[in-house]
């Protein structure tokens, strides 16, 4: 093989590797929907390894940001959504910060179901509807370290949602909410919120 041909093969291989790396975003299909830059006290930064969302505004401690995509419901009615998340609360925060995943997202009227871990280590399922954002279920035993990455997972089913933490099923929820709509990530409160390995897969 000539030097020029060998160089061409190497360049083609490097280009292919670069495309592969670009396709493997830490937040997958959410990449083009999340905040990158600054907006209303929030700042989003995407690197090759993690998506960081930060709320520095001391006046918006209960502020919520979420981003979602619509799964291909013609491919599968039910989907599994997962993400690894870490919570870094701001010092002096009066109420817990939390982050996690959302599903069954509807824009009009705004509604969704969220499975989160808060800065106290609690696992919390919340529902957003016309009455606002409120908890459906709280695990008060502080089972996890929010300062480490924990994988949260929601498996949609017929009239139910199964929630998992680090591969362990901890709850099956039966709620009066449609098992369809968008899926994505959510963060609430002040501090930093790190996300990686976001994935949605059709249930067989």
CA distances to 4, 8, 50, 174 from 161, rounded to whole Å, are: 57, 51, 27, 7
* Number of residues that this document lists for the chain: 204
Cα–Cα distance, 67 to 100 (Å, whole number): 11
What pLDDT is stored for residue 172 in this prediction? 94
Per DSSP, the residues of 158-178 read: TTEEEEEETTEEEEEE--SS-
Q: What is the pTM of this model?
A: 0.85
Predicted local confidence at residue 158, as pLDDT: 86
pLDDT at 25 (0 to 100): 94
Q: Which of 193, 177, 81, 90 is nearest to 134 (CA)?
A: 177
Per the prediction, the chain carries an average pLDDT of 85
Indicate whether 18 pLDDT > 60: no
pLDDT band at 179 (very low <50, low <70, confident <90, very high): confident
pLDDT at 6: 37
Order of strands, sheet of 132-139, starting from the edge strand that comes earlier in the sequence = 64-69, 182-188, 98-106, 111-118, 123-129, 132-139
For residue 180, what are the domain limits? 26-202
SS3 (DSSP) at 11: helix
**Residue 109 resides in a domain:** yes
Contact (CB, 8 A) for 171 and 70? no
Answer yes or no: is 96 within a domain: yes
pLDDT tier at 8 (50, 70, 90 boundaries)?
very low
pLDDT score of 23: 45
| Position 10 in a domain | no
Total number of domains constituting the chain: 1
Domain for residue 4, yes or no? no
Residue range 53-102, pLDDT digits in tens: 999 876 655 689 999 999 988 888 899 999 999 999 888 767 889 999 99
Please give the pLDDT value at position 10.
33
DSSP-derived secondary structure for 63-76? -EEEEEE---TTT-
Identify the pLDDT of residue 26: 97
Q: Give the CA-trace dihedral at 149, 23, 53, 137, to 10 degrees.
A: -50
Question: Is residue 1 in a domain?
Answer: no
Nearest to 84, CA basis, from 122, 131, 36, 49: 49
Q: What does the pLDDT look like over 130-172, one tens digit per residue?
A: 889 999 999 978 778 999 999 999 999 988 999 999 999 999 9
Q: Given a cut of 50, is residue 185 above it in pLDDT?
A: yes
Say whether pLDDT at 182 is over 90: yes
Determine, yes or no, domain membership for 36: yes
Q: What is the CATH number of the domain that holds 195?
A: 2.60.120.560
């Amino acid at each position: 093989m000539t030097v020029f041909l060998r160089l061409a093969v190497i360049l083609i291989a490097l280009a292919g590797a670069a495309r592969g790396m670009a396709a493997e975003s830490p937040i997958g299909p959410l990449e083009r929907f999340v905040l990158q830059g600054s907006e209303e006290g929030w700042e989003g930064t995407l690197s090759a390894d993690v998506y960081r969302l930060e709320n520095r505004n001391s006046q918006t401690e209960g502020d919520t940001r979420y981003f979602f995509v619509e799964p291909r419901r013609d491919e599968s009615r039910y989907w599994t959504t997962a993400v690894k998340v870490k919570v870094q609360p701001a010092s002096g925060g009066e109420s817990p910060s939390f982050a996690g995943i959302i599903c069954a997202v509807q824009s009009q009227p705004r509604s969704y179901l969220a499975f989160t871990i808060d800065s106290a280590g609690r696992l919390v399922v919340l529902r957003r509807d016309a009455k606002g954002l409120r908890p459906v279920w709280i695990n008060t035993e502080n089972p996890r370290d929010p300062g480490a990455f924990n994988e949260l997972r929601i498996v949609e089913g017929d009239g139910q949602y199964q929630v998992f933490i680090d591969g362990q099923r901890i709850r099956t929820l039966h709620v009066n909410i449609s098992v369809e709509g968008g899926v994505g990530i959510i963060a609430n409160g002040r501090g930093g919120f790190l996300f990686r390995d976001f994935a949605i897969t059709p249930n067989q």
